[in-house]
Structure 1
Amino acid sequence: MTDVMLIWDNPLLFEKLFEENGLKCQRVLSTSIGTPFLPACKCVIVPTGFANSAYTKILPGIERNSKAFEKFVSAGGSLVVFGALVTKYDHSWLPMQLTYIEKHGETHLHRVGEHEAQWIVENPGQMVECDGYFSETDGDIILRNDDDQAVMVVKKVGGGMIIATSVHEFPSPGFLGCVMENARRSKI
């Protein structure tokens, strides 16, 4: 039974993180999204660099399957989207407004309100790497950088949730637990 689906086209060190936290992870090609062959899972992750063709070729498959992502989240799944790693990117395939601007640097994370996903890093007081920020969104901003720019946004859609972040760090076990506990197994 798959817990996490990682949308990517070659092996990633990121996969080991899930294994270390007792989660069964399956890497899938973006061309498989929306087909009947994929098993149900609780979480779909789109890693950092998904829109940059120097890193991967998954973007066309992602952009073609906006309905599958909306259906997955509406049915209770968690969708986690990391930074696009291109100058500017509008997430037109998400059932929300979200515009990413690339801007690399170290920053502190500043909480806005309270949300379990804010524990993306173990020690929230430490400096972390971010690869950009979100200039426009209709989601709830829950983390900002030192320049008061949004670096984590959440949006409830149906029974599930979308978490978008430009935090360029491996997520903490607490963050993974939050994502899994608040999700229902569904098909993408």
Structure 2
Amino acid sequence: MKCKAGIAWDSEGFINKYIAGCGTSCEPVTPQMLGAPYYRGNFNALVIPTGFGNSMYSSILPALRASSGRIEKFVKKGGRVIAFGAMTNDSDSYNWLPFKCEYVHEYFSASVSDDNAGEFHGFLEDFDASNVECDGYFKTKDVDFDVIAKTEDEKAVMIAKKYGDGYYLVTSVHELPSKSFIRKFCSGNVEILF
């Protein structure tokens, strides 16, 4: 079993250290690397940290848009993408995904239920699910994805979309996933060419 993640961000940071501490190999994937046709990373999952949509935090969003076709191919071949909250009111922050995903940026704490999590169960296991920090939620009218976790007032805070042999997992939970979840999400029988 291989356990490796690409971290899409401007430079290495806390998320790289956290994921490495979960027992997962990490490879930084900068905006320049995402857009470079000669870049050939091999990993099981691509992690897009919180704040990717806000230019105050990162310049990764234009690169995600420019390489959306490449990301789609990676997922179709069995790769997994986890994207956290965009941290912006820009409604186009998720337009690099191959499905409609409308994010509402809003800070709140709430009780979160992941009863529909299926294979994504365990994301919340390292903290108190009755008081989860979130940086927004996803609109669920006329959508083509599964709601994985939601608040008591029905705000979708984690969604998933099966795409080919892989998955897109999108979350506005403003907490780090559990270590066991990271290991499971970033594992596969083979690393996939990005």
Identity of paired residues, percent? 32
- CA distance in 1 between counterparts of 2:168 and 2:14 reads 23
- CA distance in 2 between counterparts of 1:115 and 1:86 reads 29
- Contact 1:107/1:127 (CA < 8 Å) preserved in 2? yes
- CA distance in 2 between counterparts of 1:147 and 1:5 reads 34
Q: Specify whether residues 161 and 124 from structure 1 end up closer, same or farther in structure 2 by C-alpha distance, changes over 3 A only.
A: farther
Q: Which residue of 2 aligns with 1:101?
A: 104
Q: How far 1:128 sits from its partner (Å)?
A: 1.1
- Which deviates the most, 32-41 or 139-148? 32-41
Indicate yes or no: 2:174 matched with 1:168. Answer: yes
SS at the partner of 1:27? Answer: strand
SS at the partner of 2:40? Answer: coil
Q: Which residue of 2 aligns with 1:125?
A: 129
SS at the partner of 1:61? Answer: helix
Q: Specify whether residues 125 and 55 from structure 1 end up closer, same or farther in structure 2 by C-alpha distance, changes over 3 A only.
A: closer
Indicate yes or no: 2:56 matched with 1:54. Answer: yes
Q: List per-residue Cα deviations over 1:30-66 (Å, max 9, x = no partner).
A: 2312633232110001111001001011111111111
Q: Which residue of 2 aligns with 1:80?
A: 82
> TM-score if structure 2 supplies the norm length?
0.89
- CA distance in 1 between counterparts of 2:181 and 2:164 reads 21
Indicate yes or no: 2:17 matched with 1:13. Answer: no
CA RMSD in angstroms comes to 1.9
- Contact 1:77/1:186 (CA < 8 Å) preserved in 2? yes
Q: Which residue of 2 aligns with 1:148?
A: 154
Q: List per-residue Cα deviations over 1:62-120 (Å, max 9, x = no partner).
A: 11111011100000001000000011433221111111110101111123434132321
Q: Which residue of 1 aligns with 2:163?
A: 157
Q: Which runs of 5+ in 2 are unaligned?
A: none
SS at the partner of 1:14? Answer: helix
Q: Specify whether residues 25 and 146 from structure 1 end up closer, same or farther in structure 2 by C-alpha distance, changes over 3 A only.
A: same
> TM-score if structure 1 supplies the norm length?
0.91
- Which deviates the most, 143-152 or 1-10? 1-10
- CA distance in 1 between counterparts of 2:160 and 2:184 reads 13
- CA distance in 2 between counterparts of 1:15 and 1:156 reads 25
Q: Which residue of 1 aligns with 2:118?
A: 115
Aligned pairs, number: 188
